[in-house]
Structure 1
Amino acid sequence: MGNIIGITEENRKAVSVELSKLLADEYVLYTKTRNSHWNVEGPDFHSMHIFFEGQYNELDEILDSVAERIRTLGHYAPATLKSFLDLTHLTEKIGDKNNSLAYIKELLGDHESIIEFLRGNIDPFANKYHDLGTSDYITGLMETHEKMAWMLRSHLV
């Protein structure tokens, strides 16, 4: 399978390896956001329960699109909890308290970590691996995470 979609196998594999790390990060963040949705307590419970639901729904769509991008490149997406934990840059740890601000701070830090990872791969995907499609894809994904982070950050002021 040489140059399918005009990208060498070596370059598609390198990009897929990085996208697999991203998929793992997205899955851990999705799970932590679900945890926040399920376990938040306090006087703002109802509004935060709904807010976290919107966030995890958006992350669910991201998960599918990242996995499909890996498949588009001709590789298999990791799909086990063990593989996600082995590949992720994030931790499963979440604040000790079940209040919304503890959850928001933790989730915000994870979004910011993913944004940095995405930003750091835009240029290499385009210029080193000659994969403009994935470079463009992660640029849009970075913008999505920036907006999600803004929504979280807005609760902290």
Structure 2
Amino acid sequence: MDQQLTDTQRTPPSHEALPVQTGLPEDARQDLAQGLARVLADTYTLLGKTHGFHWNVTGRQFHSLHEMFQEQYEDLTGAVDDLAERIRALGHFAPGSLSQFLKLTEIEDEHGVPAPQEMLSQLVRDNETVTRTCREVVDIAQEAGDTVTEDLMNQRMAYHEKAAWMLRASIG
């Protein structure tokens, strides 16, 4: 006869079999993972938008924008992996579906093909959005004494600030 296990009888998931004991308490790791999940969602949404703009840009600046957008989406591809792996290192699962990302992100999804100048304007705003989300996580990391997450956020902020500057300069 099959008998359902109660929550206390189930074998804990593998991530709980050996608790994370890196010097950060669980509540701090939870707060950090939640903040990083928002950065991950913003980054993944920005990645998709930038890649779409790379495919669809037209006009006088086609070549330079096509190349710049490619450089940016390639960086973002590596960043999403770094962010998700940091969440896992903190002992939590990273969001991994588009529906989860769209619930967590502050970046507006683009369903059309805007003119090149509008693409640039949107990407400036979106990179600045990611920067602000990273700043919020820096505050959480500083409070928790998590210099690893703080360092990752500082690297991401530096990247997004530079990307926003280059995009803004391309608007002319």
Task: Work out whether the TM-score is over 0.5.
Answer: yes
CA contact (8 A) 1:37 1:48 kept: yes
Deviation sequence 1:60-91 (CA, Å, 0-9, x none): 11111111111111111110111111111111
More helix by share: 1
Letter in 2 for 1:109: R
Q: Confirm whether residue 77 of structure 1 aligns to residue 77 of structure 2.
A: no
Q: CA deviation at 1:2?
A: 5.3
User: 2:61 maps to which residue?
Assistant: 44
Q: What RMSD over aligned residues (CA atoms) do the two structures have, in Å?
A: 1.6
User: 2:8 maps to which residue?
Assistant: none
User: 1:115 maps to which residue?
Assistant: 131
2:103 counterpart (75, 79, 86): 86
1:1-157, aligned counterparts within 5 Å?
A: 4-93=21-110, 97=114, 99-127=115-143, 129-157=144-172
* Unaligned stretches of 5+ residues in structure 2: 1-17
User: 2:13 maps to which residue?
Assistant: none
Moved over 6 A (4+): none
Q: CA deviation at 1:126?
A: 1.1
Q: CA deviation at 1:3?
A: 5.5
Residue identity (%): 37
* Unaligned stretches of 5+ residues in structure 1: none
**Number of residues of Structure 1 aligned to a counterpart in Structure 2:** 155
TM-score under structure 1 length normalisation: 0.91
Deviation sequence 1:92-143 (CA, Å, 0-9, x none): 036753x32111100110001111121233122112x232221122112111
Letter in 2 for 1:142: M
